[in-house]
Structure 1
Amino acid sequence: MGEAIEQFFAALPTSAQAVVRGPVSGTLQINLTTDNRTEHWLVELGPGSARVSRGPGEADATWYGSHDLFERLISGRDDGMAAMIRNESTFTGKVSLFLAFRRFFPAPPGTRDPRETAREEVGRPS
């Protein structure tokens, strides 16, 4: 298990207040594979909250991907939806859980919020 992944999951409860908005609730199981081994993480999401535990369990949805892919996602070097389209990961269950969970992934390096760019353009003299 990579240290970056451990740190990512350890930080989820703290950052959930800002990340998990709206009426989302349920448990998402994250299955990370390396060679012939699978690690399981359970993330229970609720409005403004996240609880994390290790191991398989009852879940409303399950995300399957490689350990390497997950490290790329948590570093902003890859996108969760793009990985599913490329068939590098799969998902079953309650889609709203994955859509909420992917907000924990950082934007790619150098990415700017389009709203910030528009505010700068409005403030510039013509």
Structure 2
Amino acid sequence: MTEAAERFFEALPSRAAEVLGGLADGTLQIDLGEDHRTEHWLVRMRPGSVQVSRGRGPADAIWYSSAALFDRLISGEAQGVAAVLRNESTFSGNVVLFLAFRRFFPNPPGTRDPRETARRAAGRLR
């Protein structure tokens, strides 16, 4: 497990209120594989809050990713849904939990909110 991933999981509870809102209610088990070894994380999401622990347990969904891919996700260099669609990671269970969890990942570097771009363009037209 990389230090960046450790920091990411440690920061989840403090970011939950701004990121989750009322989107998710359940437990997501995240399995990160590296060199024939898998680390397990349980992320219990409730509206506006998150509890994180290490280990396996009863979960509403399970997401598997390589540790290297997860590092790219937490740096904004990769996108979670695209990784699943390309079969770089796997997911089973309640898809709402995965979709809510991916909101914790940053946007790719240089990404702009299209609404802000439209507002600027509309301001120039006046």
> Same fold by TM (over 0.5)?
yes
Unaligned runs of 5+ in 2: none
SS at match of 2:87: coil
Relative to structure 1, the CA distance from residue 23 to residue 105 in structure 2 (aligned partners, 3 Å threshold; closer, same or farther) is closer
Q: State the 4+ residue runs in structure 1 displaced beyond 6 angstroms.
A: none
Unaligned runs of 5+ in 1: none
Deviations 1:16-36 (A, max 9, x none): 001002242000000000010
| Matched length | 126
CA distance in 2, matches of 1:58, 1:8: 22
Deviations 1:20-74 (A, max 9, x none): 0224200000000001000000000011111100011110000001000000000
Query: Structure 1: which amino acid aligns with 2:10?
Result: A
Matches within 5 A, 1:1-126: 1-125=1-125
TM-score, normalisation: structure 2: 0.97
> Does the CA-based 8 Å contact 2:23-2:100 persist in structure 1?
no
CA distance in 1, matches of 2:33, 2:58: 19
CA distance in 1, matches of 2:40, 2:125: 54
SS at match of 1:124: helix
Deviates more, 1:116-125 or 1:51-60: 116-125
Q: Kindly report the root-mean-square deviation, in angstroms, between the aligned alpha carbons of the 2 structures.
A: 0.9
CA distance in 2, matches of 1:86, 1:30: 18
Identity of aligned residues (%): 65
